[in-house]
Homo-oligomer: A and B are copies of this chain.
Amino acid sequence: MKKVAIIGAGMMGTAMAWPLSDNGYEVRLIGTHLDNDIISSCKDNHFHPRLSRQLPDNVIPFYNNEISKALNGIDFIVSGVNSLGVHWIGKTLSPFIKPGDRIITVTKGIEANKHGNFVILPDVLKNELPETMRDQINIAAIGGPCIAGELAGRRQSCVVFAAENNDIVDYFKQALQTRYYHIWTTSDIVGLEISAALKNAYAMGVGLADGILEKSGGVDQSGSFMFNLAAALFAQGCNEICKFLKIMGVTETFPQNLPIAGDLFVTCQKGRSYRLGFLLGKGIPFNQAAEIMQGETLESALVVNQMQKILSSMVRKGVISNQDFPLMRFLIDLIHFQKPVHLEFDNFFNEECKI
């Protein structure tokens, strides 16, 4: 039997067990040090508490300290940690990694390095590996609209895989595609990582509309919501993701619809990022909103804080002006500087961006 390891037993990492298992893999699900409760439940009842699902039969749970055994004889690794765990997984894998090893990552996020330059998470992971190994492993990434619980429920999902090397991305497509998990591919891993990260921030931006609605008294006596505002924020989010991709040199072959509009759409279906936006839209300062949502990883806020550094650096270098990315700047004001909500539309859509 073919074997594979998923590291990180959160919802998205674990959800990958379904297509893998359906494709005949023995799936070794390795918890991080933060996943002991989850792994304990998986070992006891073969039940994943956060996904609320029985695991497929051929999933074997492992505690973090069993990683050495779990990585033995596997075909590839799925990195299922969140953005805070990327450095950790790089360090953790270092003693085990061999030339030619393959990793596919579901992690969404971006990092600013000490110069304020944008770094994609697969590179952050690579940079934690021994220097001689960095160019000898093959990393692929996953983007596009995919809620973990739905994938685990074998609901129809359309996603994009990216790797610089076509053979690698085709290998992973072969390993993971099923009748419900549909995969398109691209060599543009930078484009895919940017889209996957930024959509969390902009979904929070769309969520603001619901909060602003509630603050202003809710649905009015004639039944009107604030969907027009939400849609404008959605469109401006698409525009800014597109613009950032373009500045970062995304190629024309990048399949943008699933990773930008599609992923932003699914992330606006009342997930964490959207709910954070709702709280901020109501006028709750970020630190209080974060307390209300405590226990949840606020990827959207992490992305906004990184973008504060990245946009500042881009302005210093003359790559963009202070007026560019007005919605992201507004989110930075809310999250990073904790200013009150005051939307200005004047700078929206002033520069329409196309790839």
Interface residues of A (CB under 8 A from B): 51-53, 144-147, 149-153, 155-158, 182, 184, 220-232, 234-236, 238-239, 242, 252-258, 261-263, 265-266, 268-269, 343, 345, 348-349, 352, 354-355
Contact = CB atoms under 8 A, between A and B. Distances in A.
A265 B257 CA distance: 13
B155 A231 contact: no
Contact of A158 (B182, B222, B232, B268): B232
B228 A146 contact: yes
A228 B354 contact: no
Contact of A157 (B149, B151, B228, B257): B228
Given A150-B226, A155-B225, A235-B261, 18 more contacts: A52-B223, A145-B228, A149-B224, A150-B228, A152-B224, A153-B222, A155-B226, A156-B226, A156-B228, A156-B343, A156-B345, A182-B232, A228-B266, A234-B261, A239-B257, A254-B352, A255-B352, A265-B265
B354 A231 contact: no
Contacts of A224: 147, 149-150, 152-153, 155
Contacts of A53: 222
A115 to B, nearest CB: 31
Given A226-B156, A228-B155, A343-B156, A235 B182 contact: no
Nearest to A157: B228
9 smallest A-B Cβ distances: which pairs? Answer: A235-B262, A145-B231, A158-B232, A231-B266, A157-B228, A235-B257, A153-B224, A52-B222, A255-B352
Nearest to A50: B222
A152 B221 CA distance: 12
Contacts of A242: 257
